[in-house]
């Protein structure tokens, strides 16, 4: 019973923190507006660890590597912690175990990214009907424009209805299936 509580707390707290770090990484990468409540919240929540780590891991070609590495590390800690709390013995080869958990943490970040984009597409579609001038609109547009522009080149609007979000969500679902299969394959190997 206590292990279940610890697993829940570890997964929830570090999972949300990893999500905040990943959102911060993408918001900086896509250059979404900084003077937004969400941007300020993510900076306030993650600055305590991102700023010191930036001294050790600098940015590279516009990629905030320190934030991305911290998101990966949070996922890595979740995977190792949950496995340990569930009583799974770690392999005798520490290097192969580290590589396996490292790959699984990376795949979890890819999966989280796909879910982030999918949720933002859905929220953007709903907000475009309800309140297109919402403070979230610039952030959502910054996240979804790179994906939607690909579909909008090939799929014209039908009766002034943009179907590109629908096709983007279908593609994201297919990518999620592929990621799940890769994740299961790596789990079996390690």
The model's pTM is: 0.89
Q: What are phi and psi of 186, to 5 degrees?
A: -70, -40
pLDDT in tens, the chain (190 residues): 688 899 999 999 999 999 999 999 998 888 887 788 888 899 999 999 999 999 999 888 878 899 999 999 999 999 999 988 887 766 667 788 888 899 999 999 999 999 999 999 999 988 888 888 888 888 888 888 889 999 999 988 888 888 899 999 999 999 999 999 999 988 877 6
Q: For the beta carbon of residue 187, count every other beta carbon within 10 angstroms.
A: 13
Determine the Cα–Cα distance for residues 156 and 133; give it in Å rounded to an integer.
Answer: 24
Query: Would you give the distance in Å from CA 127 to the centre of its chain?
Result: 21
Q: What are phi and psi of 145, to 5 degrees?
A: -55, -45
What is the sign of the dihedral through the CA atoms of 55, 28, 120 and 38?
A: positive
Give me the residues paired with residue 161 across strands. Answer: 158
Tokens representing residue 153 in the block: 């080149």
């Amino acid at each position: 019973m206590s292990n279940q509580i610890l697993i829940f707390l570890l997964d929830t707290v570090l999972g949300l923190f990893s999500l905040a770090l990943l959102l911060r990484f993408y918001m900086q990468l896509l250059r979404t507006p900084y003077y937004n409540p969400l941007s300020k919240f993510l900076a306030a929540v993650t600055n305590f660890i991102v700023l010191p780590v930036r001294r050790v891991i600098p940015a590279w070609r516009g990629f905030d590597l320190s934030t991305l590495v911290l998101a990966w590390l949070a996922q890595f800690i979740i995977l190792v912690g949950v496995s340990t709390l569930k009583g799974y013995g770690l392999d005798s080869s520490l290097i192969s175990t580290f590589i396996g958990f490292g790959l699984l943490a990376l795949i979890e970040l890819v999966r989280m990214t796909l879910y982030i984009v999918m949720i933002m597409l859905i929220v953007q579609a709903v907000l475009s009907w309800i309140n297109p001038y919402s403070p979230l609109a610039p952030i959502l547009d910054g996240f979804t424009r790179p994906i939607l522009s690909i579909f909008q080149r090939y799929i014209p609007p039908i009766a002034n209805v943009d179907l590109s979000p629908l096709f983007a969500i279908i593609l994201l679902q297919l990518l999620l299936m592929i990621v799940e299969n890769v994740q299961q394959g790596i789990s079996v190997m390690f």
